[in-house]
Amino acid sequence: MEAPKITKFASAVSVREYGKDRLEYFYETMLKIRKFEKTVEEKFLGGEIPGFVHLYIGEEAVATGVMSNMSHKDYIESTHRGHGHTIAKGADLNIMMAEIFGKKTGYCKGKGGSMHIASFEIGMLGANGVVGGGYNLAAGAALAQKMQGKKDISAVFFGDGASNRGTFHEAANFASVWKLPLLFVCEMNEYASTTPYRTATSVADIAQRAYGYDMPGVIVEDGNDVLSVHEAAKKLIEYIRAGNGPAFLECKTYRVKGHFVGDPEKYRTREEVQRNIDTRDPLMLFEKKVTEAGIFAHNELTAIQARVDGQIADALKFAKESPEPDASELFKDLYV
């Protein structure tokens, strides 16, 4: 049997080869995530949002690039940092914002909140507050898809920290033996809470671990370039849909905000964060690419930004004006 390959991916597709609508979709999706997260941050700091919030700011290209190859029939398992995955999967911003505000009109009737958003209609099986908790749920979903003879796939998102959990081994081994239609997407954002990945991870590239499970592994060095992520994920998803079994995608990105809103961030310097913002911001990289190629003028990008601002303002209004769930509903929809 030929050994699986672990490769570094560089996209050979020029920005000019994409239709303008497609490029607008990438940009608008990333913008929705960014602006949604900025609003959530502001409202959380203002005491309007209950619970705990982990922001996806700076990592927008990963969710957008992967999900651009999926339909609502494909499933995803998300993480504690799940707003971006949910938006890229096609969530309604009003219903999402309402959930985060703990309102009755939210995806989980206001009883899930930031870390437990799920919507089966769009194939979003759930965010997950348990680090590494998504692998085996996704493997189960992929097993169901395979047993039903579907061409749909499942994807599980996880961080560099989560890659060190034992649950990864269980799911990766099972998915490989059963040739399940499952994409492992590692978001290597350099930190697991306060721990830099280098101090806690045995390999330089986490995708190297795919080798041990006989699945292909692809490393996107510039995981903040949405087009690179899109192309790399496209190849792997085609491979999975063709019935070849699981694959592993590692995207190198950076968590620009604290681990959670309110994190004092004593484990890294302000200079390091600023350097990443200045040189690697996914929105900035995209804007530069499409304007330098002459595909979008600056005022066209501004118009898209204004449209998204309107969507976020609507979502906020909807969430704020929605009622809270009634106390009598507290024990409804519980599976115990």
Ligand X SMILES: Cc1ncc(C[n+]2csc(CCOP(=O)(O)OP(=O)(O)O)c2C)c(N)n1
Residues of this chain that bind ligand X (CB under 6 A) = 79-81, 129-131, 159-162, 187, 189, 191-193, 255, 259
Q: Please, which residues have CB within 8 angstroms of residue 293's CB and are 6 or more apart in sequence?
A: 15, 16
- Tell me the closest approach of the beta carbon of residue 187 to Mg ion, in angstroms: 7
DSSP β-ladder status, 182-188 and 6-9: unpaired
Closest to ligand X by CB, 112 vs 159, is 159
> Residue 162 touches which of Mg ion, ligand X, none (CB < 5 to 8 A by kind)?
ligand X
- We find the least distance from the C-beta atom of residue 38 to ligand X, in angstroms, to be 18
Looking at the Cβ atoms of 192 and 219, the one nearer to Mg ion is 192
* Sign, CA torsion 235/7/131/227: negative
Q: Which is nearer to Mg ion, 33 or 240 (CB)?
A: 33
Q: What does the alpha-carbon distance between residue 266 and residue 252 come to, in Å, rounded to a whole number?
A: 22
Q: Is 231 helix (H, G, I), strand (E, B) or coil?
A: helix
In DSSP notation, 23-71 reads HHHHHHHHHHHHHHHHHHHHHHHTT-S-S-----TT-HHHHHHHHTT--
Smallest separation, CB 175 to ligand X (Å):
19
Question: Measured in Å, how far apart are the chain's first and last C-alpha atoms?
Answer: 45
Residue with the shortest CB distance to ligand X? 159
Count other C-beta atoms under 10 Å from residue 311's C-beta. Answer: 16
Q: Which is nearer to ligand X, 145 or 201 (CB)?
A: 201
| Rounded least distance, CB 229 to Mg ion, Å | 16
CB 191 within 8 A of CB 255: yes
Q: Which listed option, Mg ion, ligand X, none, makes contact with residue 245 (CB within 5 to 8 Å by class)?
A: none
Q: How far is the CB of 190 from Mg ion (least distance, A)?
A: 7
CA distance 135 to 158: 8
Nearest position to Mg ion, beta carbon: 159
Task: Choose the contact partner of 224 out of Mg ion, ligand X, none; CB within 5 to 8 A by kind.
Answer: none
Nearer to ligand X, 193 or 305 (CB): 193
Q: Which is nearer to ligand X, 118 or 162 (CB)?
A: 162
Tell me which residues touch Mg ion (CB under 5 A): 159-160, 189, 192
From ligand X, Mg ion, none, interface partner of 129 (C-beta below 5 to 8 A by class): ligand X
